[in-house]
Amino acid sequence: MKKKIIIGKRKPLVRHLLLVEGISRSGKFLLADLLSGLRGIEPVQYYGLLEHIPVFEAAGLIDRRTAEEILRCEIDTHCYEMLIGRNLNHRVSDKSSIFKNPRAKEFVRRSAIADDETLNRFYQHKAYSLFILHEIMPYIRLYFDTFKNITIKTISVRRHPVDLVYSWHRRGLMERLGKDPKLFMIPAEGGRGPMPWFVHGRQEEYYALSSLDRIIFCIEQLFKKYNSGYCRLPPAMKKKILFVDYETIVTDTKSVIQRLSGFLQKGVLPEMKGILRREHLPGKHLAEAREKKMAEIKEIASASYFWRLQKLASDYNSAHTIPQ
């Protein structure tokens, strides 16, 4: 009988890790644009496995030690390949395109430098490796436990529930789940077709709903899971998280930049002004546009789920300073 393989450990490469997370369509890539205007921040990367592993571990599909070692190895692999130029995104239209980064020429030039020299400079500058993740707050503790021996910080982007519901609806996320090969969200199976992992345990309610009501239900469930996931964290871990509201990014960009700079202890580059011009920041207040979205949603949603969205909106407005 063969003995079970025991997962070992390897020396980590990354020493400073920065995660930007939030519900889909919350504005994470816009925040990443601002982060590129700070010193010592690597180009942003998105890698889906990094957000799937915590869900699979929480569901008991992967054991804890295996999940931790996969996360360590994949983070190190992708950060190293970014350092030596393999992971530079040359697609001009993408928000994560290297050409949108004010230090693009520097990052391209270093691909011609010897690997060890590049790594030494990386450590010398105490640069943060930056990743974007979706819906990870409910299981963020796995990251804090896995990377407890390095510097890890998380920025969580929050957005008004009406804007989230409207954006999910316009993109047809629930209709595409499990059917569109370009939607890279691994679904759960509840017996009547694919469903998001975050409605597991309440799938009968999910299946009984129309498409728009399903979206409202999903956002409601995510808000609850975000709150409970954060509340379960010990105080030391909560200090490693900075919450930023999308509405504040748009309307009070200067204060957000100051908070990012202080949280990460990284200075602001002169090129930040160019980033703000390109992204048209600060922008207009969002209340009028949100009223139109709410009216459109009301025409389609059921009365009971429209009321639930109103309740989410009221709670969000009460808990956040929403520019009007």
pLDDT digits (tens, 9 = 90+) for 257-273: 999 999 999 999 999 99
H helical segments located in the chain: 28-35, 49-58, 64-83, 104-109, 115-124, 141-146, 161-170, 173-176, 203-207, 211-231, 235-238, 246-251, 253-264, 272-278, 287-300, 303-319
Q: What is the mean pLDDT of the chain?
A: 94
Task: Give, to the nearest 10 degrees, the angle between helix 115-124 and helix 64-83.
Answer: 110
Pick from 125-129, 154-158, 318-322: least confident: 318-322
Is pLDDT at 2 greater than 80 in this prediction?
no
Contact 121, 114 (CB under 8 A): no
Q: Which residue has 């190293």 as its token pair? A: 80
pTM for the model: 0.95
Does 324 have pLDDT greater than 60? no
pLDDT over 50 (residue 168):
yes
- Mean pLDDT, rounded, for 113-133: 94
Please choose, from the candidates 156, 160, 205, 195, the residue with its C-alpha nearest in 3D space to the C-alpha of residue 316.
160
Bigger pLDDT: 236 vs 321: 236
Is pLDDT above 90 for 297? yes
Question: Can you tell me the mean pLDDT for 278-307?
Answer: 94
